[in-house]
Structure 1
Amino acid sequence: MKRKVVTICGSVRFWNKIQEMSERLELENEYVVIGIIPHILDRDLTECEKDLLGELHRIKIDLSDAIFVVNVDGYIGDSVKNEIEYAKENGKEIIYLENN
C-alpha cells in the first residue's frame, strides 16, 4: 500500500496539537507526515528568515499529495491561508482537523 504524503500546516501557537496530529496521522491513518519547524530561538525572525521558511514550506507542499490544516477552534492565520491557497493552486488535497 502506498502511503499518502501530507504536509502539516498550522499556527505554531498550536504546537502541541500539531505534534499530536503528526503522530496520529502516521500511526493511525498511515500517512507520511512532513512537519514544520518550530521557532524556538529567543529572538524575532528576520524578514529574510521568514521568507526562507515560507519558501521551504511551499517546497514541502510541492512534495506532498495533500496538506493537513491544524485549525484549532477554526483558527486559520494569514500564513496558513496562503499555504492553503498555494496547495489549491497546485492541485493538492486539503484536509482539515476541524470542518470549516
Structure 2
Amino acid sequence: MDIAKIITICGSLKFIDAIQRQAERLEFEGNCVLSITYPTKAKDAYTEDELQLLGTLHKQKIALSDAIYVVNVDGYIGESTQSEIEYARAIGKEVLFLVDDY
C-alpha cells in the first residue's frame, strides 16, 4: 500500500481524545501521521527551553509533511495552533481542518 500523504496533526491538547481519533482515522485512510508529543506532566513543570524545543520540533514535523490536519473542535484554534497554520501556509503546505469554517 502506498502512503497517500504525510500529515502532521495539530490542535489544542485540551482536545487530546479528538486528536487521537482523527490521527487513527487518517492513518486508516492510508496516510502517515506525525503527531503531537503528548505531555507527561503539567505545562508549568516544563522549562521555557523545553516548551520552545517541543514547538520547534513540531514545526520540523510540519516541514516534513505534505499537509497539516487541524483538529479544531467547535472551530477552536489556540495561539500555538494558529502559529502552526501560518507556518504551514508560509512554506506551501496544504492545511486541512476538522471543522471547515475557518
Q: With structure 1 as the length reference, what TM-score do the two structures score? A: 0.94
Gaps of at least 5 residues in structure 2 are: none
Q: State the alpha-carbon separation in 2 of the partners of residues 36 and 88 from structure 1.
A: 19
Specify the alignment match of 2:69 in structure 1: 68
Specify the alignment match of 1:39 in structure 2: 39
Gaps of at least 5 residues in structure 1 are: none
Q: CA RMSD in A?
A: 1.1
Percent identical among aligned pairs is 51
One-letter amino acid matched to 1:8: I
Aligned residues: 99
Could you list the structure 1 runs, at least 4 aligned residues long, displaced by more than 6 angstroms after superposition. Answer: none
**1:3 to partner: Cα distance:** 2.1
Map 1:51-90; keep pairs closer than 5 Å. 51-90=52-91
Tell me, yes or no, if the aligned pair for 2:3 and 2:31 is still in contact at 8 Å: no
Specify the alignment match of 2:26 in structure 1: 25
Tell me, yes or no, if the aligned pair for 2:72 and 2:97 is still in contact at 8 Å: yes
One-letter amino acid matched to 2:73: V
Q: With structure 2 as the length reference, what TM-score do the two structures score? A: 0.92
Relative to structure 1, is the Cα distance of residues 74 and 43 closer, same or farther in structure 2, using a 3 angstrom cutoff?
closer
Relative to structure 1, is the Cα distance of residues 14 and 43 closer, same or farther in structure 2, using a 3 angstrom cutoff?
closer
Q: State the alpha-carbon separation in 2 of the partners of residues 63 and 47 from structure 1.
A: 25
